[in-house]
A and B are shown apart, each in its own frame.
Chain A
Amino acid sequence: MPDNNKVNRRGFLRTAAGAAAGAMAIPYIVPSSVFGADGGVAPSNRLHVGVIGVGGQGTWDMRGFLDKSEALVVAVCDIDVKRQKAAKAEADLKYGNNDCKTYLDFRDVIGRSDIDIIATAIPDHWHSIPAIMAAEAGKDIHGQKPLARTIKEGRAICDAVKRYGRIWQTGSWQRSVANFRRACELVRNGRIGKVHTVEVGLPTGSTRGNESIKPVPEGVDWDMWLGPAPWVPFRGVLHWDWRWIMDYSGGQMTDWAGHHIDIAHWALDLEHTGPVEIEGHGTYPKDGIFNVPYEYKVTTKYANGMTMIIANDRQLPHGMGTCWYGDMGWLHVTRDEPIHANPKSVVDEVIGPNEIHLYESKDHHQNFLDCVKSRRETITPAEVAHRSLTPALLGEIAMLTGRKLKWDPEKEVIVGDDEANRMLSRPMRSPWHLYM
């Protein structure tokens, strides 16, 4: 049974008030490393970064900022004290001081008026609330993919980022890798003709048996970890393995949507729309603590008649990655491999200056920092992340209902299916709600 007195109400209010009342830290001084030649950045001009969630991905992001001379990681936050300490030690070692502060409650980090940037790498069910709070507090945000756990939460993040004029970058770093951009430019410029089908191969999931109820590990705030998700007792799933439980994630399909579906959309100029029809089938664990499908195949249709198939890699001829099929050939791109195409000569085609050239970023974290200073849109803004994730979240609903869905990408509603529409959002456990 849940203990509903555990939420720290005092902290809740203190930080909510403190965040918006604080001075807004837009970086007015544009260091020469951004636009100029010298590269040196005075400490007073550094962008202060608070990292919320310092597990594997969050630590990777933190290192991305530690490596940049214009960023200064001043705060790390995690519901696991061990992880806080490890992240602090790494930041302090880098800077040769003891200045990085640790926090258990993300609201205390957002409440700091000296912080310019909030970087979040937390379980998916937690993505929306801190992001919206950070936007309201005037922070720029680097948020990990997938953008949110539900379509309505994703839309709320986009709206808040736009409303408060914030810079947002999603951790869809593949866009900052030359190979992926090049593949997208080749497809966008018609080198394989008119695309009729795109296959998106994502990892296969996994299963696990039932788990006994266990004591919460020392130094872990379990109630805070659950946050807006329904209460359940601790069963040993804390870091990473939450990925396979539906309350917190949609599994590999929603996790990787921000990579390979994102790339598929980028090449086809579909970044601001979505499919109009979705159907799918998933193989769900027959028992055990994990409950997201480990095998899945979702077929979507777009208004232009194109088909996108999203499936775990074992069900697609090219496996992982994105493969576009056009009326003049096909082209496949994935990580750590050269671009493959038919005809082969497509790979060496030059894109001329009068053709379409896509947004270029050579370093994902640097692109974010540059945009924080220039106030330009990043290579992976919130709206794009929202649209990259939508086909996967709709696929999840199609698999759960077992029905073919019709989607209105403009209004963002499922047409004529009341039950399916209910799954566009999730009720949040009290006292959490989107606009804290």
Chain B
Amino acid sequence: MNRLLKIIAVITVIFYGGCKTMKEKVPAPASAAAPAAKDAFGEQLSKIKAYDFDKSRVDLIKVSDMIREASGKPEMKAMEKQLDDFLKSDASYAAKDFVCRELSVAGTEASVPALASMLTDEKVSDIARYALERIPGPAVDDALRNALRKAKGNAKIGIINTLGVRGDKKAVDALAKLTNDANETVAVAAVAALGRIDDRMATIAIAMVKDKATGATKTAALDAYLRCADRLAAKGQKDAAGAIYKQLYAAGEPMPIRVAAARGMIETAGDKTAEVIVEMLKSTDKPIQTVAIATLKDVAKTDVIKAAAEQLVNLEAAQQAQLVCALADCGDKVALPTVLAATKNSHDYVRVAALRAVGTLGDVSAVDMLVETVASRGGEEQKAAQESLYRLRGPDVDDEILKKLPDAEPKAKVELVRSCEQRNIKIAVPVLMKTAKDADAKVRIESIKALRALAGPQDISALIELQLAAAGNDRGELEKTVVVVAHKTPEDKGQSQAVLAALPSTEDVEAKCSLLSVLGKIGDEAALPVLRDALGDKEDKIKDAAVRALSDWPTAAPAADLLKVAQTSENQVHKTLALRGYVRLAGLKSNRPAEETMKMYKDAMSLAADVSEKKMVLSGLGSTDSFEAMEMASSYLDDKELKDEAEAAVVKIAEERVKNSPRVSAQTRDILQKVIDGTTNDSVREQAQKLLKQGK
């Protein structure tokens, strides 16, 4: 194949290029102003004569750069002449292709003779057209029309296409004749080209073809006629456009054409738009009904929307659902009564569409209906009503929700509380403080969750009161809420201040533990001394809460305290909790030296009382980016009980290290090789092998 192509190329070059060269005259200097530039350009051009697609592009790029540099300057004229001469030379196809691309941007009418001479040759017609199609000026159109008479096959089709792209009005007669061509591809191209020419005679020619043509030519004519109508409509000639659309809307035309024409009719109907849409909604052809519905949003006139909405009851369920969606998209409240009525439709999907539409079109009057639907229905209907309740617009909707909330039935109350959260009703906080103590557990929990989003630092004392008074699940949820709200206070303004203030007066041990737990999660430094003191409390429960709170701390600040508990406590539970907390804190991001982190893990390992605790230490060690950590993990590779965790830790550490620096030391290689040799886990082996390959 390759060889054959080359032979064809050589023959073409000899025949085509050679003949042209013999006829050429020696070109006179085009510009005496820049002979040096011209010579340099000529020299560069000569380097690309034998260019082929598999060769270096370095010299092509130099030519491009020179052309770009000369753009708009006097020397470009002479350079363009050289490019034209190049096309007549025995240069390769690939080189001429390149030059044509350059001329497509930099060329002028001066290049037309050279390019036009290539148009009728099927082998180079496309590349010549690539340039000509983009070059402005009537000389190009003349050349294309002249070539059209002589060209054959794909060259002819290409010329037709280009005349269409250029919108050449003088080509209309010739193209109109070609719509009858025996070759249907030529006829189709001619019709399509006529459709691109903004000319009355072109439109008339297409109208005639559409009536008498068949098959692909007819299809192309119908499309071209539509494009003519669109162009007329865009120019404001709506009557002329409307007349074409009406012809194409006729019952005998293919449905895609009728649908497109229907859209055009609606858009050009002016004062009669409502009438046209209603007529289409009454059509027995569902695609016509559907396009009328889909076009409604583009029209967006109140009288049209109202007229369309009135037709809803006459449509089948699927089109009812489509129309409800379209009415919502129009955003005109004139459709609200229709949409509200549709929420009671006998088809579930129409009801769901209507409930969603209420969210867009509805107002305060819809609150009751939506709340009732959420509370009484399930599935998609419930979800749709819920979403609409959250989206309902208007300044009085929030007030209405708050008004209804205190006396609502529990199911409705839950939805109203959720609406407060979703709608971000900040003034709902006092009401929610009350519903957080509601008799119904679900109402209480939803209220506490809503307070998490809506309450601010000013509400924290009231929330702590609720926390201390609550029990069970409520207290747990309130603890989370207090932490979230405390974090809304700026860091330098004492995030734990209110909790610390409540602590001395709290005597109940469980309540005290709850406050300590909150302090650990807030992580404000002011609370550290209090938690440290609590480690020495006489009550085991308080000690327990203090260990847990320090284990939750967001930095490694209480690490030494936890280590001490793990080393010295007589309570095994506290020892275990403290060790876990200590390992967690060792794994947090920190600026301390790597040796200190290693010491923390070594201390932890020395305190680990059983296999599970040792595994926990190795797991933490895996997130430490140091060779010492890898070395420590590798020391457990021979331990049957800890082998898996040790392998995982080694690979994890190595991965991080390779990511940061691809150089892998000999010691690391040895450790990874040991993992590869000893592991029974395929995934670990593959990871280790991959790391060895990656590391240089």
Contact = CB atoms under 8 A, between A and B. Distances in A.
B260 interface: yes
Interface stretch (A13-21, A62-70, A118-126, A318-326): A13-21
A222 B288 CA distance: 41
A37 B393 CA distance: 26
A354 interface: yes
Nearest to B384: A35
Interface string A159-184: 10011110000000000000000000
Contacts of A422: 104-105, 134-135
Interface stretch (A209-217, A273-281, A305-313): A209-217
Given A136-B223, A136-B256, A374-B325, A163 B318 contact: no
A231 B215 CA distance: 30
Given A20-B254, A375-B290, A164 B259 contact: yes
Given A2-B126, A211-B54, A20 B286 contact: no
Given A35-B349, A430-B158, A431-B154, A30 B263 contact: no
A436 B192 contact: yes
Contacts of B379: 36-37
A32 B254 contact: no
A423 interface: yes
Report the 9 A-B pairs with minimum CB-CB distance, sorted nearest first.
A430-B158, A35-B349, A37-B379, A138-B256, A24-B255, A350-B424, A36-B349, A427-B133, A36-B348
A13 B2 contact: no
Contacts of B162: 427
Given A286-B61, A427-B165, A20 B219 contact: yes
Contacts of B254: 20-22, 24
Nearest to B218: A17
Interface in B366-411: 378-381, 390-395, 397
B215 A433 contact: no
Given A37-B380, A375-B290, A427-B129, A353 B185 contact: no
Given A13-B185, A212-B54, A35 B380 contact: yes
A410 interface: no
B256 A20 contact: yes
A235 B54 contact: yes
Contacts of B654: none
A13 B183 CA distance: 10
Contacts of A28: 286, 290, 316, 318-319
B664 interface: no
Nearest to A27: B318
A319 B443 CA distance: 46
B219 A24 contact: no
Given A210-B55, A376-B325, A427-B129, A35 B2 contact: no
Contacts of B192: 433-436
B661 to A, nearest CB: 19
B671 interface: no
The winner among B5, B223, B286, B321 for most chain A CB atoms within 10 A is B223
A342 interface: no
Contacts of A17: 215-216, 218-219
Contacts of B291: 165
A269 interface: no
B424 A352 contact: yes
12 contacts: A16-B219, A22-B254, A24-B287, A28-B286, A164-B256, A210-B55, A210-B56, A353-B393, A354-B395, A374-B325, A401-B68, A423-B105
Given A136-B223, A374-B322, A430-B157, 13 more contacts: A4-B126, A22-B254, A34-B321, A35-B353, A37-B348, A214-B2, A288-B57, A375-B290, A419-B106, A422-B104, A431-B161, A433-B192, A435-B220
A33 to B, nearest CB: 9
Contacts of A24: 254-256, 259, 287
Contact of A165 (B8, B136, B263, B316): B263
A427 B130 contact: yes
B350 interface: yes
B544 interface: no
Contacts of A19: 219
Nearest to B267: A162
B134 A287 contact: no
Interface string B184-207: 110011001101100000000000
Contacts of B55: 210
Given A35-B352, A427-B129, A30 B185 contact: no
A418 interface: yes
A291 B219 CA distance: 39
B352 A429 contact: no
B9 interface: yes
Given A375-B293, A427-B104, A433-B189, A418 B136 contact: yes
Interface of B: 1-2, 5, 8-9, 12, 52-58, 61, 68, 71, 93, 97, 101, 104-106, 122-123, 125-127, 129-130, 133-136, 153-155, 157-158, 161-162, 164-165, 184-185, 188-189, 192-193, 195-196, 215-216, 218-220, 222-224, 226-227, 230, 254-257, 259-260, 262-264, 286-287, 290-291, 293-295, 297, 316-319, 321-322, 325-326, 329, 347-350, 352-353, 378-381, 390-395, 397, 423-424, 453
B329 to A, nearest CB: 6
B317 A431 contact: no
A21 B222 CA distance: 11
A338 interface: no
B57 A210 contact: yes
B424 A4 contact: no
B2 A20 contact: no
A435 B259 CA distance: 18
A225 interface: no
B58 A9 contact: no
A285 B624 CA distance: 41
Interface of A: 1-2, 4-5, 7, 9, 12-13, 16-17, 19-24, 26, 28-32, 34-38, 136-138, 159, 162-165, 210-216, 230-233, 235, 284, 286-288, 291, 350-354, 357, 373-377, 401-402, 418-419, 422-423, 425, 427-436
A35 B321 contact: yes
A9 B390 CA distance: 58
Contacts of B154: 4-5, 7, 430-431
B216 A16 contact: yes
A4 B380 contact: no
B54 A210 contact: yes
Contacts of A37: 348, 352, 378-381
Contacts of B127: 230
A168 to B, nearest CB: 12
Given A13-B185, A17-B216, A136-B256, A1 B321 contact: no
B259 A165 contact: yes
B245 to A, nearest CB: 11
Contacts of B326: 375-376
A230 B2 contact: no
A1 B123 contact: yes
Given A21-B254, A430-B126, A436-B192, A138 B259 contact: yes
Contacts of A34: 321, 349
B126 A429 contact: yes
Contacts of B321: 30, 34-35, 374
A163 B126 contact: no
B158 A2 contact: no
A422 B166 CA distance: 12
Contacts of B318: 28-30, 373
B256 A137 contact: yes
A63 to B, nearest CB: 25
A8 to B, nearest CB: 11
A9 B216 CA distance: 12
Contacts of A30: 317-318, 321-322, 349
Which of A21, A350, A435 has the largest count of B CB atoms less than 10 A from its CB?
A: A435
A30 B315 CA distance: 13
B2 A287 contact: no
